[in-house]
């Protein structure tokens, strides 16, 4: 385990050197704050936009705090997922292309430890960034819109964090077996989008899908319950993540590690 923690510490230091510990959390905080602030000031924004008849009064029903937080989650489901994929896509492939992976693995470093340390570091920055952004959104929602029970906000954050962890796992696994960052990003976005679409189309037969976690997270906020199929979705998500990491380590061990 000492070797694994050394690898993990190395990855965390690399994240700091590449400034990802600055811009990834910052983007998530901005996304989180933008939803309640935009919702609160939307009538004023529309009024200031002009091109409205004289004396027009804009009255938009004020949403509840739970609805605003659920809308924040949908923001993270698009831009947030894309940001995470872009920040993680080169975590393995870039080191293999530069030869750094070969130099590291010349030492008695197991391939599984190498991949899992990179995965753990990627999960850490993703979860911390999402938690910071979501906490910021909850604070401004409480301040501007209305109260949301802290326990419900925490439950929804944990559930949605698991969905983002699944997205990160897919990206890290593809980064271990593919070479080009563009191909990794394209396939990661495509697989996540395809899974979400299929889950939406066949919701009754795909209640086990990891993408249902985002729906469960929103349901906790708006309905107070995550639904009866949550346990199945959690088990399947954990099993798929473990299988992807195992397969990524096996396939990565068969690749040429030194650039030609």
Domain map (residue ranges) of the chain: 2-34+63-252
Considering Cα of 12, then 16, then 19, then 25, what sign does the dihedral take? positive
Local confidence band at 60 (pLDDT 50, 70, 90 cut-offs): low
**Tokens describing residue 50:** 């002009």
Res. 257: pLDDT tops 90: no
Mean pLDDT of 19-39: 93
Residue matched to tokens 């107070």? 224
CA 258/CA 233 separation, integer angstroms: 39
Question: Poorest-confidence range of 54-63, 99-108, 167-176, 235-244?
Answer: 54-63
109 or 176: whose pLDDT is higher? 176
Half-sphere exposure of 31 (CA within 13 A, CB side): 26
Which H or E run contains 156? Answer: helix 150-177
The predicted model scores a pTM of 0.90
Residue 180 neighbours by CB distance under 10 Å: 12
Question: Poorest-confidence range of 145-149, 171-175, 186-190?
Answer: 145-149
Distances, alpha carbon 80 to alpha carbons 25, 130, 189, 213, in Å: 10, 8, 12, 15
CA 61/CA 91 separation, integer angstroms: 45
Res. 260: pLDDT tops 50: no
């Amino acid at each position: 385990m000492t070797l694994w923690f050394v690898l993990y510490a190395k990855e965390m230091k690399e994240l700091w050197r590449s400034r990802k510990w600055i811009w990834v959390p910052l983007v998530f905080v901005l996304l989180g704050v933008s939803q309640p602030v935009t919702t609160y000031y939307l009538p004023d924004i529309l009024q200031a936009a002009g091109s409205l008849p004289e004396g027009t009064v804009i009255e938009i029903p004020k949403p509840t705090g739970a609805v605003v937080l659920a809308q924040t989650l949908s923001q993270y489901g698009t831009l947030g997922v894309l940001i995470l994929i872009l920040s993680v896509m080169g975590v393995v492939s870039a080191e293999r292309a530069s030869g750094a992976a070969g130099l590291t693995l010349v030492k008695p470093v197991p391939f599984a430890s190498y991949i899992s340390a990179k995965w753990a570091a990627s999960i850490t920055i993703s979860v911390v960034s999402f938690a910071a952004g979501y906490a910021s959104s909850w604070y401004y929602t409480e301040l501007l819109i209305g109260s949301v029970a802290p326990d419900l906000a925490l439950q929804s954050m944990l559930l949605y964090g698991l969905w983002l962890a699944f997205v990160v796992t897919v990206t890290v696994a593809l980064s271990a077996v593919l070479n080009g960052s563009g191909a990794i990003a394209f396939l990661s976005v495509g697989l996540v989008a395809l899974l979400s679409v299929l889950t939406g189309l066949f919701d009754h037969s795909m209640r086990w899908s990891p993408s249902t976690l985002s729906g469960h997270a929103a349901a906790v906020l708006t309905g107070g319950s995550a639904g009866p199929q949550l346990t199945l979705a959690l088990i399947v998500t954990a099993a798929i993540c473990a299988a992807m990491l195992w397969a990524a380590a096996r396939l990565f061990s068969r690749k040429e590690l030194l650039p030609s």
